[in-house]
């Protein structure tokens, strides 16, 4: 054993030095001095051997404990040694093992989440793909132009759904991985709202829903105008899907020294209480996911992620006074 060899070497070296001192004392001073040198030398050697052995024992025990951790046992806490240096080393090792353990748990959790997400995603895509495959024979077997057109149209709807799903999932993945480029700059709320509403203008018209914007028209906040607009667009789209024809979607903007708040309030039937806590979860479609509201449950999830990535928050609740769903987006004016 290497450490034993070095221990023996050290003892021999010490013995030699002591011997030399004793010899020198014997010849240069007197035999008694030499004898007392030999005796004190032997005491020193004995003391040295004892301390070395003790230290060696502590170190081997520490090494054994480290070995146990390496071989998978995660429930090891390092012994509290009394010996100064070893105690310090033991403490540091304890801390390092804790940190490594936490990292390992985190990675396992993330890996599981990722594989769950992949399973979810392939399931979600599989459904419209199956629908599309089934629609093809309908197109082929259609007897007249009108029927064929109708079948093709349904196919187009499914293709559109998958496109939307893929694009949104990609964005979500980018946000999750921190790979989305988010600029933090002053954003004018009015301009951001205009950008969010513009792609929905025709749909709002078709659904006969009025969009009203009121409140502080000069409000600003720190964020990314592009992703804010996209998040808001998703929220408004969700409101649109749950608001009957002739209804309104009201956007109120409030700004003070603490935060800028944008509240989206629709005149629909509101959010079911059991859905509220899960509203922003990926793929959550709600208890009343019917044929009409056949979404994938990713729009609100994306909105949540995009807003959070800019340092903002969003929460959903039902309006207690006039009913309808409310989405409150808050951008703090400064990071406290």
Partner 1 sequence: MRVLLVEDDMAIVDALSSLLQSEGYTVVSCDTQSDACEFLAEQTFDIALLDVTLAQGTGFAVCAAAKQVAPDMPVVFLTASDDEYSTVAGLDMGAVDYISKPFRPRELLSRMRVALRRAGQTECVFTAADLRMDTASAQVTKAGIEVYLSALEYKLLLYFLQRKGQLITREHLRDAIWDTAGEYVSDNALNVYIKRLREKIETDPADPQIILTVRGLGYKVIE
Binding region for partner 1 (CB under 8 A): 149, 153, 156-157, 160, 163, 166-167, 170-171, 180-181, 201-206, 226
* The two structure tokens encoding residue 214: 């009121």
What's the min distance (Å) between Cβ of 207 and partner 1? 8
Cβ 275 to partner 1 shortest distance, Å: 25
Q: Is 99 exposed, middle or buried (0-12, 13-18, 19+ CB in 10 A)?
A: exposed
CB 330 within 8 A of CB 313: yes
Residue number, 74 or 163, with CB nearest to partner 1: 163
What is d(CA 108, CA 114) in angstroms, rounded to the nearest whole number? 10
Nearest approach, Cβ of residue 313 and partner 1 (Å): 23
Whose Cβ is closer to partner 1: residue 92's or residue 156's?
Answer: 156
Residues 242-246: contacts with CB under 8 Å, at least 24 apart: 242/266, 242/268, 242/269, 242/293, 242/325, 243/207, 243/209, 243/267, 243/268, 243/324, 244/268, 245/207, 245/208, 245/209, 246/208, 246/209
**Smallest distance from partner 1 to CB 144, Å:** 14
Rounded distance between C-alpha atoms, residue 231 and residue 315, angstroms: 13
Paired with 316 in beta bridges are: 327
| Nearest distance in Å: CB 203, partner 1 | 5
Nearer of residues 105 and 156 to partner 1, judged by Cβ? 156
- Closer residue to partner 1 in complex, CB, 13/170: 170
Asked whether 270 and 323 are in contact (CB, 8 A), the reply is yes
Beta bridge partners, 215, equal 253
Q: How far is the CB of 175 from partner 1 (least distance, A)?
A: 12
Q: In the complex with partner 1, which residue's Cβ is closer, 55 or 174?
A: 174
Q: Given the complex with partner 1, which of 268 and 270 has the nearer CB atom?
A: 268
Name the residue among 249, 242, 293, 246 with its Cα closest to residue 270. 242
């Amino acid at each position: 054993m290497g450490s034993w060899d070095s221990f023996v070497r050290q003892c021999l070296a010490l013995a030699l030095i002591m011997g030399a001192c004793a010899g020198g004392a014997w010849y240069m001073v007197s035999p008694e001095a030499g004898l007392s040198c030999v005796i004190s030398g032997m005491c020193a050697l004995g003391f040295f051997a004892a301390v070395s052995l003790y230290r060696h024992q502590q170190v081997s025990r520490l090494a054994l404990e480290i070995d146990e951790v390496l071989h998978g046992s995660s429930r090891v806490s390092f012994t509290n040694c009394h010996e100064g240096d070893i105690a310090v080393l033991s403490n540091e090792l304890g801390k390092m093992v804790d940190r490594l353990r936490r990292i390992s748990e985190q990675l396992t959790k993330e890996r599981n989440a990722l594989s769950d997400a992949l399973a979810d995603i392939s399931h979600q895509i599989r459904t419209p793909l199956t629908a599309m495959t089934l629609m093809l024979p309908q197109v082929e077997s259609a007897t007249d132009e009108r029927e064929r057109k109708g079948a093709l149209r349904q196919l187009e709807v499914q293709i559109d759904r998958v496109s939307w799903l893929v694009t949104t999932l990609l964005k979500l993945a980018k946000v999750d991985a921190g790979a989305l480029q988010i600029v933090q700059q002053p954003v004018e709320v009015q301009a951001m709202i205009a950008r969010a509403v513009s792609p929905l203008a025709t749909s709002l018209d078709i659904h006969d829903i009025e969009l009203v914007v009121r409140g502080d028209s000069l409000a600003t906040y720190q964020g990314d105008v592009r992703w804010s607009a996209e998040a808001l667009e998703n929220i408004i789209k969700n409101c649109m899907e749950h608001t009957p024809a002739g209804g309104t979607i009201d956007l109120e903007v409030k700004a003070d020294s603490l935060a800028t708040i944008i509240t989206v309030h629709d005149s629909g039937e509101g959010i079911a209480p059991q859905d509220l806590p899960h509203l922003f979860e990926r793929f959550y479609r709600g208890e009343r996911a019917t044929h009409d509201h056949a979404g994938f449950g990713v729009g609100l999830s994306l909105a949540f992620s995009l807003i959070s990535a800019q340092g903002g928050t969003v929460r959903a609740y039902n309006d207690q006074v006039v009913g309808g769903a409310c989405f409150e987006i808050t951008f703090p004016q400064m990071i406290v």
